[in-house]
Amino acid sequence: MHEMGICDGILKSALEAAEAEGATRINHIDVTFGELTQIVEDALQFAFEVQRADTIAAEATLGITILEGRSRCMDCSAEFKHDRYEVKCPECGSYLCSLIQGRELRIDSIDVD
């Protein structure tokens, strides 16, 4: 379950940002990740609930946005979505594709008091 390590990173960044702002409490954290990171949403929520304890984010909620995997075909320029197992152009069958989105992992916003 690599979500524990990922969540640790998110929480650390959020706590650092909140501290830099002089915040006393984190209310909400919004994150976005791509499907191809293999993060499981429920596991990330669970990791967050465990790790937020005893921090200023103890009452915080986590908002998650998931981006599907998308690539562009280098042969015919078609854009298409795909899972992590096969990246193949549905228009022309080419495997020469360049990833547009799906590997993101970022904090979008942090709501603090």
The residues with which 70 forms a beta bridge, in sequence order, are 81, 101
Q: Which stretch binds Zn ion (CB under 5 A): 13-21, 28-36, 50-58, 71-79?
A: 71-79
Q: Which stretch binds Zn ion (CB under 5 A): 14-22, 29-37, 86-94, 102-110?
A: 86-94
76 binds Zn ion (CB under 5 A): yes
Which of 96, 105 has the CB closer to Zn ion?
96
Q: Which residues contact 54 (CB under 8 A, 6 or more apart)?
A: none
**Alpha-carbon separation of residue 5 from 2, 34, 81, 90, 102 (angstroms):** 6, 16, 27, 35, 19
Token pair 């995997």: residue? 69
100 binds Zn ion (CB under 5 A): no
Q: Quote the CA–CA distance of 45 and 49 in Å, as a whole number.
A: 6
- Interface positions, 20-49, toward Zn ion (CB under 5 A): none
Residue among 73, 87, 110, 112 that touches Zn ion (CB under 5 A): 73
14 binds Zn ion (CB under 5 A): no
